[in-house]
Structure 1
Amino acid sequence: MGVRRLLLGLFHASEAWTIPDEEVERLRLDFPDLEITRARSKENLEAAIPEAEILFSWAPGEANVARARNLRWLHAPAAGIGAYLTPSVTKRKILLTNSRGVHAVPIAEHTLGVLVALARQLRTAIADQIQDGMDRERWFEGPGRPRELYGRTLGLFGYGAIGREVARRALAFGMRVIAVRRHPERPSAWEPDLLRALGLPEEEPRIDAVMGPGDLDRMLEASDAVVVAAALTPETQGVFDAAAFGRMKRGAWFVNVARGKIVRERDLVAALRMGSIGAAALDVFETEPLPRESELYTLDNVILTPHISGNSIGFWPRAMALFRANLRRDAAGLPLLNQVDIERGY
């Protein structure tokens, strides 16, 4: 294989989502066969894209992909690829890979963090601290008494890289873990090279049960806390509605770190107001950013974060380790890691 032309479209208004200079220099050192162009603006991207053979970029848009006459491989720095499935990508069958698994560690840590916060009622403690008036007695009576994660059942809706790492941490807290996934009959098969690139353990967490979508009700009825960690697909959109919340244990907790449109927000608010759902921690919403008029802001049994569960200083090292692994595979003519099934959408 001769010179490979790589275009980096990893610019952003936020520092967190802009590729660091040192990562670009490492690519130049590790892959002398790469001719690297770094776009720092939309204009740079538009000018360079016709010659690009490999594009590692935030969603470039249909107009750019249509002009990328030499493009054979498009790599996304995140797991979600809905914005990448443009007509040109699907029609030309451009190889699309994503960064599935890159966010598994921070999202898993975030998930256990909010579960601990719900159990220990840290929202109440922080509110007291802000008001400069801690009321110790409330912690010893009725609903004010803290709970434990130990011995409780955690139900996972989605058991991919994120669900796997949530389960691993929940088990360390002494929780019982069950999961629903699309194909429970298929054993978990993770490419060792992918796990090594991401720094994830090869050993599978020992969870109690993996069920199929048809067993969702059974999972909901058995769980003290439900965590949504699935991809947004036509099958999962709106799955968590009034009927689903009605199947959950009264007082159970609900956590969404996946996609907002998997949940019917109006139904969740109603369940929280009625107390059928004890509390919720939400990092994603049907409309983002969450509108200021949302009723979720008015509920004292909810923890809200602005879609930041996957954000951490570990993002770029993991994302680039995965991309470098794929660049080596590309040079060797091997199948790339995290290839997206364009028809299924993930």
Structure 2
Amino acid sequence: MAPVTEHATVRCTDAAGLADALDGAHVLFAFDFLSNALPHAWHAAGSLEWIHVASAGVDALMFPELRDSDVTVTNSRGVFDGAIAEYVLAQILSFVKDLPESLRLQRNRVWKHRESERITGRSVLVVGTGPIGRAIARLLTAVGMTVRGSGRRAREDDPDFGTVTATEDLPRAVAEADFVVAAAPLTEATRHLFDARIFAAMPPHARFVNVGRGELVHTADLVEALRSGTIAGAALDVFETEPLSDDHPLWEMPNVVITPHNSGDFIGWRDTLVDLFVDNFHRRLAGEPLRNVVDKQLGYVPGT
């Protein structure tokens, strides 16, 4: 942060000290993007002009007072795209090659010949056509998968997805997919988008991958869909409540892979986040447009 301290007084704080640190501050770098401390400290934000969030998702910050204010919000769009796309590919390969079973057999010293699936020609629906969804689409297309998108509006000429179906047509779209990847931002329109109705529309051999937000999914419905065989499996990096409680039924399901919200956390990601903030800080000093300005009513950067 040295390039910032040359031009500004920097205060570092935790959630408990946020109100005191906000007093008189013009800029907030919200590194803990899941913290809910800001609404409780908002009374001290009278001088605040700009918030930069160390995340692509800004749902944790979109409380009414901030939405209605003149404070500019920017996010860290672009930092995690490639890493998350690689994570999705890894999970798909793990499913089709049944790597978890291979590891179980290895631990038990069992030599058992098995056949595996191919990914070439398999169909993927990516729900969320922003930068992360597009990075996923490009990578999966490159390895021979057939990829379509689901977003706010339907179109047939998308450069990364080709065909994009509208969200209201999601039941029909998932019915044609071998893999469904959730990569949408969390908004009131997408909260619990994946519920019993959507899982029932998926083919019984389909797998579900969530790299968006846990609240995109009605978790109890997902558990039931996995338990009943409505869908074949799930790879989950995000959950409605994090960390996932140690008694949650998802832990014990053999057709589920759980990771602790780290699909985008490549080696060096923290430095990259700081570099993006520093770049935006210097843009602000120079009077240049900021990168990744969030539409606070939509809850994400327009055009994604």
TM over 0.5, shorter chain? yes
Alignment of 1:224-303 (within 5 A): 224-303=178-257
Structure 2 CA distance for aligned equivalents of residues 167 and 269 of structure 1: 27
Number of the residue aligned with 1:166? 136
Q: Does 1:134 align with 2:104?
A: no
Structure 2 CA distance for aligned equivalents of residues 312 and 146 of structure 1: 29
What SS is found at the alignment partner of 2:149? Answer: strand
Q: Does 1:68 align with 2:45?
A: yes
Q: Is the 8 A contact 2:151 2:165 kept in 1?
A: yes
Can you list the C-alpha shifts for 1:279-300, whole angstroms capped at 9, x where unaligned? 1111112222222222212221
Give the alignment partner of residue 183 of structure 1, picking from 153, 160, 171.
153
Q: For the aligned residues, what is the CA RMSD?
A: 2.3
The alpha carbon displacement at 1:64 in A equals: 2.9
User: TM-score normalised to the size of structure 1?
Assistant: 0.78
What SS is found at the alignment partner of 2:85? Answer: helix
The alpha carbon displacement at 1:46 in A equals: 4.2
Of 299-308 and 46-55, more deviation after overlay is shown by 46-55
Alignment of 1:46-65 (within 5 A): 46-57=19-30, 58=32, 59=35, 60-65=37-42
Number of the residue aligned with 2:74? 97
Q: 1:109 to 1:96 in 2, by over 3 A?
A: same
Structure 2 CA distance for aligned equivalents of residues 338 and 183 of structure 1: 21
Q: 1:43 to 1:294 in 2, by over 3 A?
A: closer
Q: For residue 343 of structure 1, what is the amino acid of its counterpart?
A: Q
Unmatched runs of 5 consecutive residues or more in structure 1 = 1-23, 140-144, 189-203
What SS is found at the alignment partner of 1:234? Answer: coil
Number of the residue aligned with 1:337? 291
Give the alignment partner of residue 308 of structure 1, picking from 248, 253, 262.
262
Rg: which structure is higher?
A: 1
Can you list the C-alpha shifts for 1:208-251, whole angstroms capped at 9, x where unaligned? 31121122123212111000001111211122122111211221
What SS is found at the alignment partner of 1:51? Answer: coil
Q: Is the 8 A contact 2:156 2:164 kept in 1?
A: no
Give the alignment partner of residue 2 of structure 2, picking from 25, 36, 46.
25
Q: 1:42 to 1:218 in 2, by over 3 A?
A: closer
Q: Does 1:37 align with 2:13?
A: no
Of 271-280 and 115-124, more deviation after overlay is shown by 271-280
Structure 2 CA distance for aligned equivalents of residues 91 and 276 of structure 1: 42
What SS is found at the alignment partner of 1:343? Answer: coil
Q: 1:296 to 1:77 in 2, by over 3 A?
A: same
The alpha carbon displacement at 1:255 in A equals: 0.6
The alpha carbon displacement at 1:121 in A equals: 0.4
Q: 1:61 to 1:123 in 2, by over 3 A?
A: same
The alpha carbon displacement at 1:38 in A equals: 3.7
Q: Is the 8 A contact 2:171 2:197 kept in 1?
A: no
Q: For residue 80 of structure 1, what is the amino acid of its counterpart?
A: G
Structure 2 CA distance for aligned equivalents of residues 338 and 184 of structure 1: 24
Q: 1:45 to 1:237 in 2, by over 3 A?
A: closer
Of 61-70 and 257-266, more deviation after overlay is shown by 61-70
The alpha carbon displacement at 1:325 in A equals: 3.0
Structure 2 CA distance for aligned equivalents of residues 289 and 317 of structure 1: 24
Number of the residue aligned with 1:223? 177
Structure 2 CA distance for aligned equivalents of residues 80 and 65 of structure 1: 20
Can you list the C-alpha shifts for 1:240-265, whole angstroms capped at 9, x where unaligned? 12211121122111111111121122
Structure 1 CA distance for aligned equivalents of residues 193 and 208 of structure 2: 13
Q: 1:86 to 1:244 in 2, by over 3 A?
A: closer
Structure 2 CA distance for aligned equivalents of residues 227 and 52 of structure 1: 40
The alpha carbon displacement at 1:271 in A equals: 2.0
Q: Is the 8 A contact 2:59 2:187 kept in 1?
A: no
